Amino acid sequence: MKPMSGTERQQYDILPGKQYPGGATLVPGGVNFSIFSHHATSVELLLFADADSPLPFQIIPLEPRFHRTFFFWHVLVKDLPVGTHYAWRIDGPGDVEHTGYRFNRNKVLLDPWARAVSDKLWNHSHACGEDDNTTTSMRAIVVDNRYDWEGDQPLAVRPEETIIYEMHVGGFTRHPSSGVTHPGTFRGVIEKIPYLKELGITHVELLPVMAFDEQDVPAGVAALGLKNFWGYSTHSFYSPHPGYCISPDDGSHVREFRDMVKALHRAGIGVILDVVFNHTAEGGADGPTINFKGIGNEAFYHLDPEDRSRYRDFTGCGNTVNCNHPLVARFIVDCLEYWAREMHVDGFRFDLASVLSRGEDGNPLYHAPVLWNIEFSEALIDKRIIAEAWDAAGLYQVGDFPGYRWAEWNGRYRDVIRRFVRGDQGLVEEVASRISGSSDLYQPRDRLPANSINYVTCHDGFTLLDQVSYEHKRNEANGEDNRDGCNNNLSWNCGIEGPTDDEAIAGLRRRQTRNFMAILYLSQGVPMMLAGDELLRTQHGNNNVYCQDNELGWFDWGLIETHGDMLRFTREMIAFRKRHPALMQARFLTGSNREGQILADITWHGRHLHRPQWGDPSSQILAFTLAELEPGEGHLHVMMNMGKDEVRLQLPLIPERHWFRAIDTAEPPPRDILTLPEQRPVMEHSYPVQGHSIAVFESR
């Protein structure tokens, strides 16, 4: 007997259904579907047999009398099996210039609450314009949400003890050298957990894993065969990205993501998601219609009040989500709570988070409802919430982001440390503020050192090796004539642009990378490092590999052999930080003595003890003594010389204690960082600190 085609499958009976919850939900007797659309006049549910079915096997028109409650449209499909693919058609009034409505019944729409989506037939260009795109649309998948977490619980890591590793799920294991069974997937990450655990980090921060449009790149970029690699083009905020799944066509997204989270938790590693609620993959007026444009364009996006066919763009990506519209704010908070409760993630980093502070008129609000609802959500109360506290329209809120619990990517830390290490003069006073937790930014509003996420490099910009090898970006491979990416990298090539056979320059570059890594882990606040920096991964001067799903953007595991010395240095720096609670203070340092201490909690020095060179326009030397926080920990003394020449600096005298050299970034590996058994006491009262180097001592 001939098997049934997609359009010949059985037709399922329906009931009115319920408005909550949104999306497709298994209920006794079938699947309940619900979607919001305030101004829709016609709604149809389309059911597809498989991911590659070009046409629906059943179309279910929703009758407003039975299937609409306020602005939610709903239906219960009896006995519908898990794994069914589905989508929506919605029609409504026009006059986009005055109303902002963009209804188009020719467009097949994704469910905003979809727990799993398929993009197997997706064609980005077919979703643009007015024509029908049924045969090339994305579809949602009915999934069974049941899962055995096997007792998995949130990790109990104090904020100040957090060490973040920013990584890309696909790029982490897609290189042939990874040796994993399923490269570029959530499962591939599981296979590399031993590496992460040995490195010593406490949390991975994953570049976007919510389903995104890989085809969302400029035409010139697409013509080169490149695609959206980083994932800052979200369309389905509840669904893990199908490209990171082994079996996305059968709706395995939820299970595979949970397997990864559970495995990471078992290894003591938390999961922070980089989330993109500031814009969506639908772009501007010429962009595709995927979901929100065809459901509630006038509510979900910031529109030009003079002409509502135009999008206000505070993101540089064509559109801006209207985050503080009541419905949109509720959608965002519900989504975050879903990932926290149902997917067990440990926190969120919000891309261009200042957009979330903008009211419906586009102006910033300190009491932005969505931000405070996130801060006060019971489901999120123990989760990390981290803001990239700026947007593309000039709103910069580092140190002043709304709320109290929000941590911030500290762009001011990044910038001044880059300048200091490259040798800029007269910065030591600000460097001291950043190293000690940026109290000038956070203490006045009763925040803590852990509100500062300290970093030198991240996905956006040069890698650590490129930071010391290039002064100019090399983004020609992106197909945008080198116009993309940041022009102000605050970098120094150490004398020659790009690769070199000059061993003196190569050695200086390696020393500089150790300087950056040492400062990062000697600073109060929360350190974040970019995956691959511990292996001196290069992008050959490309500071914007958003479209490079190839060896330029991948983690090269062969570098473990090539740059194992840097890997060792990074591991030992993390271990050094962990054994010194004084480097992970919960409260700001005061410069005064704690009870029972003979030393102030921190004492600053310059070329001479107790004489920091505040205000000296030529200063390149900063030193400090950090008193132990716990008995037996040992005091620390740190000397930083970012000038060219060697300087002999004094060591403070502490009764009944000796200083042991732990770190000297000018020493060749493995003497650049010493474990406790390898350390020897320093018998002199001073130490020669080489140019462009850092020396650190422990007292015992």
Residue 536 carries which DSSP code? T
State in Å, rounded, how far the first CA of the chain is from the last one: 84
Burial class, 369, CB count within 10 angstroms (exposed 0-12 / middle 13-18 / buried 19+): middle
How far is Cα 271 from Cα 111, in angstroms, rounded to an integer?
A: 26
Residue among 525, 523, 508 at smallest CA distance from 469: 508
Helix (H, G, I), strand (E, B) or coil at 273: strand
How far are the Cα atoms of 143, 534, 536, 622, 687 from residue 565, in angstroms, in the given order? 46, 9, 10, 26, 24
Residue among 452, 277, 424, 296 at smallest CA distance from 354: 277
Instruction: Name every residue whose Cβ is closer than 8 Å to that of residue 229 and which is 6 or more positions away in sequence.
Output: 168, 170, 171, 214, 545, 546, 547, 548, 549, 553
- Here the tokens at position 664 are 């000297």
Q: Which residues of 141-165 are buried (b: 16+ CB within 10 A; e: fewer)?
A: bbbeeeeeeeebeebebebbbbbbb
- Give kind and range of the element (H or E) at residue 643: none
Residue among 452, 465, 642 at smallest CA distance from 567: 465
Convert 563-578 into a string of H (helix), E (strand) and C (coil).
CHHHHHHHHHHHHHHH
530, 166 in Cβ contact below 8 A? Answer: yes
Q: What are the φ and ψ backbone dihedral angles of 118, each rounded to 5 degrees? A: -115, 135
Residue among 464, 446, 412, 386 at smallest CA distance from 162: 386
Just list the catalytic residues: 351, 388
Burial class, 438, CB count within 10 angstroms (exposed 0-12 / middle 13-18 / buried 19+): buried
